[in-house]
Structure 1
């Protein structure tokens, strides 16, 4: 009987050393989770045991240290959750290895060619709609199209110290600076991304009263040979606050280089009149020209945001995470991946930081959680265990030899 006991001990210690060796070999594998072996004793209807068996190898899903990644698509998870991956056959895998890159079609893949799953942003501008399906995320390679200006703002102060201009004697004429008190500029863009420079002229016409005129100097609207201007009267109370409501100055242009003509309003509700110099506070419009992609980054909620040469940013997609009631029940499938089993339960899928899911960090990578010091100690212990079991077999052999020699 003792031969089988010692042999079971040798087998168990050998498998334990296999687990330790695998942990040490993967101490530098991104997202690797160390394993630990569990033993169980064996009885067969007597008080003397039959030896030991390996009850299983358990995975340790504690976090590894997050370090700096080498790519803008590198990602690391802190807390619960796994990346959801699919292969070309549609099979689903789960991983903590956040080393990702683009393939030739712009899809985000890992080193084994599996597709990272999430929500794809669609529409103009791109957004993620409620109920969007979970699937591979693709980063578009084309440029961001132009967006025509449809609104704008101009706020600032008009100096109450300016002298009023008699428009009967000096009607407004942008070519004659004696017919206006000050001028400001704001840029706008048409449907093809052509830049239009809009001049806004301010004329003080009386106490607490001003007129504002708009002119698209790039593509002015003409009535025969006469330019047409947007116009609004701005009235202020004795404390310098604007009383005109709403204060909307129309901006219009002629069609330019094949684009649609501009036609929008500048919101001037933020204008004041005080006894200081006339100054505008960074007037702006909401349009922009076309732009080429400069790069992209991943935010903590898993959103992939692209930046463009026109100064704009755009949502491309959002990475999802998956978690299980019993992660220890997942089945290891190699390549730092696991698959769902009845013991793990079904996955709950969501975005970073919601429910029981951890936080996703862009530009980070999760290191292996292997503790090399502890593994070296375990290796010594299992080696001694192996030697001791070998010694019991040797002792039983000597006892048996003694019995044989009795004849």
Structure 2
């Protein structure tokens, strides 16, 4: 039995090492959120078992929980780089797939069609304005697109994004047009989001449906233009966790070695 108990410890430590290695590898990934390995003990026994005689039979990984604490904000000077000061997520939609994902990575850029995208063809979602410049109903999103030429025929000269998410397009003739407001999504349980890679997540039944709103509303937080949120990985903390996981792995391996020696001693006695 000790073999299987220690084997479960080896597997759990190996999983922990993999999670820590993934965190360290993404210490410089914009918008990355670290994960923590959670364990649960295993016990053998039934309803009629004497609780004083029940023993553990190992450990299992109960969850790999994502940590959505805010990372450090770094100034970039690029007006289309956005950082969120609260718990919201940017909503991005694939230009070809139409799939909606959510991210904390606000490194957006303008393409030749006037769309704000993340460099991989996923377009930032906004809540569009009506003919009077007023935002439409919260929850209805559209691809963020800046007209390259205004009604007077002037070319697009620049863009500004306010703390409340207002996207303003400036033109060569001095005219300024409010295109819409950046849409932010919040979730009842962000830890239930399914990671997709590239600092993106998708909603699941565990996370709840996305609640689309404006920056500055509820817990979404405001926007910082010209800044990006760095990874929330603390390398010093991860290195301590790495040493602990390594020692845990070595201890379980030693326990297996000891059990093997005991078994060999018993075999030798019989022979």
Query: Normalising by the residue count of structure 1, what TM-score does the alignment of the two structures yield?
Result: 0.62
**Residue in 1 that maps onto 2:148:** 141
CA 1:29/1:70 → structure 2, altered by over 3 Å: closer, same or farther?
A: farther
Which of 62, 67, 88 is residue 60 of structure 1 equivalent to?
67
Instruction: From the CA coordinates, give the structure whose radius of gyration is larger.
Output: 1
Deviations 1:147-178 (A, max 9, x none): xxxxxxxxxxxxxxxxxxxxxxxxxxxxxxxx
Please say if 1:404 is aligned against 2:267.
yes
**Residue in 2 that maps onto 1:109:** 117
Q: CA deviation at 1:90?
A: 2.1
Between the aligned partners of 2:182 and 2:120, the Cα distance in structure 1 is 18
Please say if 1:322 is aligned against 2:185.
yes
- Matched residues, number: 261
**Residue in 1 that maps onto 2:20:** 20
* Aligned pairs for 1:344-355 within 5 A: 344-355=207-218
Deviations 1:128-153 (A, max 9, x none): 443373121111111451xxxxxxxx
Which structure 2 segments of 5+ residues have no match?
Answer: 46-52
Between the aligned partners of 2:265 and 2:225, the Cα distance in structure 1 is 70
**Residue in 1 that maps onto 2:49:** none
Deviations 1:315-368 (A, max 9, x none): 122111000111111111111111111111111111000122111111110011
Question: For 1:50, what is the secondary structure of its paired residue?
Answer: strand
Which structure 1 segments of 5+ residues have no match?
Answer: 146-289
Q: Which protein is richer in helix relative to its size?
A: 2
Which of 364, 367, 371 is residue 234 of structure 2 equivalent to?
371
**Residue in 2 that maps onto 1:237:** none
**Residue in 2 that maps onto 1:41:** 41
Question: For 2:106, what is the secondary structure of its paired residue?
Answer: coil
Query: Normalising by the residue count of structure 2, what TM-score does the alignment of the two structures yield?
Result: 0.91
Q: CA deviation at 1:371?
A: 0.5
Q: CA RMSD in A?
A: 1.6
* Aligned pairs for 1:145-184 within 5 A: 145=152
Between the aligned partners of 2:65 and 2:39, the Cα distance in structure 1 is 11
Which of 75, 88, 96 is residue 82 of structure 2 equivalent to?
75
Q: CA deviation at 1:121?
A: 3.7
Question: For 1:405, what is the secondary structure of its paired residue?
Answer: helix
Residues 90 and 185, structure 2, Cα contact 8 Å, conserved in 1: yes
Q: CA deviation at 1:115?
A: 1.4
